[in-house]
Amino acid sequence: NAGVTQTPKFQVLKTGQSMTLQCAQDMNHEYMSWYRQDPGMGLRLIHYSVGAGITDQGEVPNGYNVSRSTTEDFPLRLLSAAPSQTSVYFCASSSMATNEKLFFGSGTQLSVL
Amino acid sequence: ILNVEQSPQSLHVQEGDSTNFTCSFPSSNFYALHWYRWETAKSPEALFVMTLNGDEKKKGRISATLNTKEGYSYLYIKGSQPEDSATYLCALNTGNQFYFGTGTSLTVIP
């Protein structure tokens, strides 16, 4: 099993550019989510989804869009990148069972110049 | 925004020492409490998911306890080994959202 696959691993953008971070899971998980990791801060939830066609905002959603057209895929879109979005991004998925853990992707290191 | 706090921020111990960390969370929003182990250049991996007050979980030399009434969880490592060196994260699950602490960085000195 591939688990949670995140691409790309590294990306450099110029301010104002747009891009999509890809996340796919092959575990038939209903729940998928995106986090950002910044120095001195815990992982912060950007957006999450509890199933195809359903998305909701997390703690830090501004500047990011998501969609969930299939159970497997949950892309994160930066519409107009800003230097404040320089961060490491993680995708994670889980079944919706109460005691189920999160499975994380390998992360994307994004720099916005 | 819920505040999940972990202490200490970092810890250096000698090989063979036992150690413990604390995770504090607001008990009013509790659904589950997660512990993750995060090694450098890797992704977080789950250690425990606890849901009931008084829960105790164990995995080898690592164990965890949960007190949902007072809003804290302890993670214990018995007889620390160099391979235990990592950052240990706790996360409060409020249903659909996860709130992570900033982690405790453990270094085990051979």
Question: Does residue B1 sit at the A interface (CB-CB below 8 Å)?
Answer: yes
CA angle A83, A86, A90 (to 5 degrees): 150
Interface contact B100-A100, CB threshold 8 A: no
Residues of A in contact with B66 (CB under 8 A): none
Cα separation, A34 vs A53, in Å, equals 16
List the single residue in B31, B51, B101 with the smallest CB-CB distance to A42. Answer: B101
Residues of A in contact with B46 (CB under 8 A): 101-103
pLDDT for the residue numbered B28: 86
In tens digits, what is the pLDDT along chain B, a chain of 110 residues? 789 999 999 999 999 999 999 999 998 889 999 999 999 889 999 999 999 999 999 999 999 999 999 999 999 999 999 999 999 999 999 988 999 999 999 999 99
pLDDT for the residue numbered A98: 63
In tens, the pLDDT along B8-40 reads: 999 999 999 999 999 999 988 899 999 999 998
Cα separation, B65 vs B78, in Å, equals 14
Return the structure tokens found at B51: 């849901």
Residue A61 has pLDDT above 70, yes or no: yes
Query: Are the C-beta atoms of B103 and B87 separated by less than 8 Å?
Result: yes
Name the residue of chain A whose CA is nearest to B46's CA: A101
